[in-house]
Amino acid sequence: MNGLERGGISVNESGVKSIQLSSAWLKVTSLLLSHHLVPQVIEALRVESCGWPSLDAQYMMLRILRHCESYPLSIKYHRLLLKVMVDDIEKLGAEVADDLMECVVEAYSTPLPCGSDSDVAHYSYTIPKGSVPIKGWSYNEEGQEKDTILVPLRVLRDDNLVGMKTWEAGFLLAELCFACSPKLFAGKRILELGAGIGSTACLLSHALSEAVPESIVLTDFAEVILENLEYNVDICTNACQYMKGKIITQYCDWRSILTPEDIPENMVPADVTLIADCTYSEDIIDHVLRTIACIITSSKSHASSTMLKKQHMTEEDEEGDDLLLHIHERHGPIALLACTHRSDETFAHLQRELLRMPICCKDISDWANQQIKGGLLSFGNRERIQTYCIYSESE
């Protein structure tokens, strides 16, 4: 019995879409729903275990695409995908399913919306069912059926607003959090700067059923970004009932934060602060690092955030799986910064400014990659992402 016969997408009482598919079909699903390049989707389909381009395989693709009725793909992407699928089927000399042709006709009959919403899309990501820590999982393990859930996020493609797009470092930061001890999150106050579409926090929230935080505050500065962020938070909390009322959005302009006293009241104390791909220009770097330092300083001044348990860190702590928990227990509030190395000049500026910070900054990139071990999500530039842990050293 193959993955086609036994697998599929189902919806539970909370509206969580779960998938139980073979590894090969899960890879196809992951690539397709996250808008990877269409040739990559077709290449994944051509794996022998998918049975492409049989009628069964075509109907499985239609079942996957039904998910998009609730959370639509980009219309442009959807049309291109269907066209290339049909072309590939015909190229391989197979019969095109009638339902697939009807789907093509319907897609091309639907007019493109006008205005700013012309390329609004939902990107959906597959992650394993379960609670942190989640490690050693991969959809590339052939012959194994995977039990996963779908996490949809609304984005605006081809738009100049950086907060309406997906960013690779946000996915890697989510993967790193998946691998962390539940003690790092359970009952804690989590803050994300420059949350954008909310990918890091929304993905992480689906893995916190047994490590529910006190709160997650997601910040950004533009009204349209915050509106979209609230939309994605609503989807997330409807699926993760244990997060109801715990995730809030907050306006925050880093340029206005010059001292710890300038931090908005509900942003501190923060036990864990997350920042992903917010270092894309030199002026932004200066603002965001100053904001991080102010948040750490302000949070540490709150007695509730400085319950230090460890008096020192051993060599085993420095290299072990629970490194971040040990730093948090020893030094209090921490910030996790993930950034993609895109420009040598900008990255060199980041390195200089990190060294000048009034608090400690530890490069944890190698350790993080060991914890992630290949990753749960599929995205580009993985090897160009650096991760840092920032904290204020205890006396």
Domain ends where: 119, 146, 173? 146
- The conformational region for residue 241 under phi > 0 = left, psi -120 to 50 = alpha, else beta, is alpha
Q: What is the share, in percent, of the chain residues with pLDDT greater than 90? A: 72
Q: What is the pLDDT of residue 139?
A: 55
270 within domain boundaries:
yes
**Do 171 and 232 belong together in one domain?**
yes
User: Which domain covers residue 50, as residue numbers?
Assistant: 3-146
Task: Say which residue, 364 or 306, is predicted with more confidence.
Answer: 364
Span 221-247, mean pLDDT? 96
Assess whether pLDDT exceeds 90 at residue 375. Answer: no
Domain ends where: 146, 173, 188? 146
Assess whether pLDDT exceeds 70 at residue 314. Answer: no
Span 188-210, mean pLDDT? 97
Domains held by the chain: number: 2
* Structure confidence by residue, pLDDT tens digits, 21-58: 788 898 899 999 999 999 999 999 999 889 999 999 99
Helix residue ranges, H only, the chain? 3-6, 23-33, 38-45, 55-70, 75-91, 98-109, 168-178, 199-205, 223-239, 282-300, 315-319, 323-331, 344-356, 365-372
What's the predicted TM-score (pTM) here? 0.91
Span 268-287, mean pLDDT? 96
Span 54-82, mean pLDDT? 92
Domain ends where: 112, 146, 180? 146
**Do 223 and 253 belong together in one domain?**
yes
Span 319-326, mean pLDDT? 86
Q: Would you say 124 and 67 are in contact if contact means Cβ atoms under 8 Å apart?
A: yes
Q: What residue type is assigned to position 51 of the chain?
A: G
* Structure confidence by residue, pLDDT tens digits, 359-372: 999 999 999 999 99
**Do 354 and 236 belong together in one domain?**
yes
Say which CATH number the domain at 293 has: 3.40.50.150
151 within domain boundaries:
no
Span 62-66, mean pLDDT? 90
Q: What is the pLDDT of residue 47?
A: 92
Task: Say which residue, 174 or 303, is predicted with more confidence.
Answer: 174
Q: Which stretch, 234-248, 318-332, 367-381, has highest mean pLDDT?
A: 234-248
349 within domain boundaries:
yes
204 within domain boundaries:
yes
